[in-house]
Amino acid sequence: MLQRVRKFSATAESRLFLRDLKAVPRDMRRKLRLEAENSAGINPAAKNNKTPASRLILRTIFGATGLGVAAWHFYLSEEAKSNISQNINDSFVGSIADYIAAQVQEMASPFTKPSRDKLLPDWPMINRGVPEGYPQIPVLVLGVEDRKFGWRHAKRPHVDEFLETLARYYEIVLFSSEPRMMVEEVLAKLDSKQCAFHYLTREETHFLNGTHVKDLGPMNRDLRKIIVIDHKPENFQLHLSNGVTIPPYLDGADRSDRVLKDLIPFLEAIGKENVQDVTKILSEFKDQDGIIRDVGPKWNTKLMALEERKRQNEAKGFGGFVRADHHNLIDTMMRRTTKLLQNQVRRMNVYQVHTTSRIPVKSIALGLAGFWWCHNQSDATLNNIKHRLQGFINFEAIDEIKGAIKEMIDQAISTPKIKLLPDWPMENLGIPKDFPQVPVLVLAVENVLMYMEYDVQNGWCMHKRPFVDEFLWEMSRYYEIVLFSNQNHIFIDDFFAQLDPKRVGLHYLTRKDTQYINGCHVKNLDHLNRSVDKIIVIDYDADNFQLHPANGVVIPKYNAPDDKDTILLQLIPPLSSIGKANPDDVTSV
């Protein structure tokens, strides 16, 4: 109690003292400070000034440095500079400078080099559903930043169509030069349908010459299969042969921009063919400064020139064809006829003959007669004729074309690989090792699940059979579904995605996976890498599974629109009961 009373009295006295204390004027405080300094013997005039000696030293150092820099740049010759630099580097000072530079470089490496050695995971990406042994597809690296206003961004026109189309053929990488924390949300909105496999940001760039460079070296992919698209060549200066430069998108109100849309046909052709070295094709579009620009317009121009050259050669007849030089033949065959050949194959696959086609009957008859005559001549006679015609006909070009045609024919009718499906269980799809094998349902595509017709304006159109979506969804609960087409993959690949949008089919097989027997592309179940006793085939023609008739179910052909067709709906109950029972031998059921 006594302590509390004393504390209260002390507090009261301090409050009274502070209340009576008045502020001292500034002039009075300054006067008191000067009197204190004079009494201590301090000279106020020299307190904050440098001594004359130190000033002279500083002036001398700065002056000598300026004269040295001016003399180095304007007076000394390049040879003298080189000699001085060499002498300094060989001396102890040079060693110290190298050590300091190495330490600085090591300290700065986290900010100037990519954050990891492998920017992309090893191929194949099993955790993404890519099976073992699947060939590497091309990689498309896309720059992101073209136009931004603070935190607002504007999508370039046709960007969604661009990503969705090329996601079928490329491993797409969105690469931004901005920090991850700033651009991650932007990338998610830009790729709303998740077409890209990977997102890379500034942390994965290589800071070089004042630019955050997209270095393809740490991509962990074959450089010959990588294409970069950016609006500045400096952003991929380490691999200019892999880059395509496009104009920057600067006006968000400009919705007529077609840069991305014009690139789709060119990149789609490369992706479909899975070109082994994209740099060789891109080199054809280089400008004089070595930069690849305007690929879309140049591609269209080349296609038009090819069409014109083809028309002119057809007008010349067979003689004009064989007299063409090596460059015209091989260059045209290997570089620009890919799209035309694909269109021809598509027409052949569906047995579509246009009445407007010009058939050179005389040329065909002349060629057959020449073939018969050559077949009946001796080798010596043929070699003599070939030697005489050496200056008029390019036989090397013809031999290369013959080899290419033979390879195409061999691929068309050759026996497929032994294992069309991966080993069971497919662990890459999350199936446990001890999971029992489920039945396999092989579904023919043409005239079973859909049919196709040709429209003059829209090209080939697909018509789904009624209840096909419900049928596939229900069957996927009990079966390992295989969609098997008798068409060539370059024709049917685009239709698989439309037929099976929910991706319930685990495997897509095409004509190259069939066996050509008795004029028919047969689905050989022995090559499916599954027990034949657990496979059911549904087709409209028994010849398509003639090697295993006990495993097949024949249903009516679907070749015209019919809303009353319920075949697939009627198949659901019996197939569901078989799938639930999972018998050891489905043929007995």
Confidence of residue 497 (pLDDT cuts 50, 70, 90): confident
Contacts of residue 267, defined as CB under 8 A and 6 or more positions apart, other chains included, come to 140, 166, 169, 170, 227
Q: What is the pLDDT of residue 131?
A: 81
Residue whose structure tokens are 């685990």: 506
Structural element, H or E, at residue 461: strand 459-464
Q: Residue 142 region, left (φ>0) first, then alpha (ψ -120 to 50), else beta?
A: beta
Give the 3-state DSSP-derived string for 411-457, with helices as H, strands as E and coil as C: HHHCCCCCCCCCCCCCHHHCCCCCCCCCCEEEEECECCCEEEEEECC
Chain centroid offset of residue 32 CA: 80
Tell me the CA distances in angstroms from 337 to 73, 275, 304, 355, one per residue in order: 57, 14, 11, 23
Q: What is the pLDDT of residue 184?
A: 84
**Which residues share a beta bridge with 175?**
143, 200
* pLDDT tens-place string over residues 46-71: 555 545 677 778 888 888 888 888 87
d(CA 569, CA 553): 15
- CB of 503 within 8 A of CB of 473? no
Domains 126-299 and 427-588 share a fold: yes
- CB of 240 within 8 A of CB of 290? yes
Q: Is the pLDDT of residue 230 over 90?
A: yes
d(CA 236, CA 280): 17
* pLDDT tens-place string over residues 294-325: 998 888 888 888 777 766 655 544 333 333 44
Letter string b/e over residues 96-120, b meaning 16 or more CB atoms within 10 A of that residue's CB = eeeeeeeeeeeeeeeeebbeeeebb
d(CA 550, CA 587): 6
- CB of 235 within 8 A of CB of 141? no
CB atoms within 10 A of CB 222: 14
- CB of 381 within 8 A of CB of 480? no
| DSSP code of residue 123 | S
Range with lowest mean pLDDT among 2-11, 399-408, 427-436, 482-491: 2-11
User: Which is more confidently placed, 368 or 475?
Assistant: 475
Angle at Cα 84 formed by Cα 83 and Cα 88, nearest 5°?
Answer: 120
Range with lowest mean pLDDT among 152-156, 411-415, 436-440: 411-415
Q: Which two tokens stand for residue 365?
A: 């008859």
Averaged pLDDT for residues 567-572: 93
Which 3 state secondary structure label does DSSP give 506? coil
d(CA 480, CA 477): 9
- CB of 527 within 8 A of CB of 537? no
Chain centroid offset of residue 432 CA: 31
Q: What is the pLDDT of residue 333?
A: 39
d(CA 50, CA 379): 106
Pick the CATH number of 126-299 from 3.30.1360.10, 1.10.3720.10, 3.40.50.1000, 2.60.120.330: 3.40.50.1000
Q: Is the pLDDT of residue 1 over 60?
A: no
Q: For residue 440, give the nearest of 482, 499, 485, 496 by alpha carbon.
A: 482
Could you state, in order of their start, the residue ranges of all structural domains in the chain? Answer: 2-43, 52-111, 126-299, 344-413, 427-588
Q: Is the pLDDT of residue 87 over 60?
A: yes
**Which residues share a beta bridge with 139?**
171, 226
**Which residues share a beta bridge with 324?**
none
d(CA 427, CA 127): 9
CB atoms within 10 A of CB 161: 12
Residue whose structure tokens are 């009353």: 564
Which 3 state secondary structure label does DSSP give 536? strand
Parallel, antiparallel or unpaired: strands 520-522 and 515-517 = antiparallel
Query: What phi, psi does 247 have (nearest 5°)?
Result: -65, 145
Query: What phi, psi does 443 have (nearest 5°)?
Result: -110, 120
Q: Which two tokens stand for residue 165?
A: 């189309």
Q: Which two tokens stand for residue 284?
A: 């054809």
* pLDDT tens-place string over residues 137-163: 899 999 886 444 455 678 899 999 999
* pLDDT tens-place string over residues 102-124: 777 667 666 678 878 899 999 88
CATH H-level, domain 427-588: superfamily: HAD superfamily/HAD-like (3.40.50.1000)
Is the preceding omega at residue 432 within 30 degrees of 0, hence cis?
no
Q: What is the pLDDT of residue 416?
A: 58
User: Which is more confidently placed, 435 or 161?
Assistant: 161
Q: Is the pLDDT of residue 512 over 90?
A: no
Structural element, H or E, at residue 516: strand 515-517
pTM: 0.43
Q: What is the pLDDT of residue 93?
A: 72
d(CA 396, CA 489): 31
Range with lowest mean pLDDT among 103-112, 166-175, 234-243, 540-549: 103-112
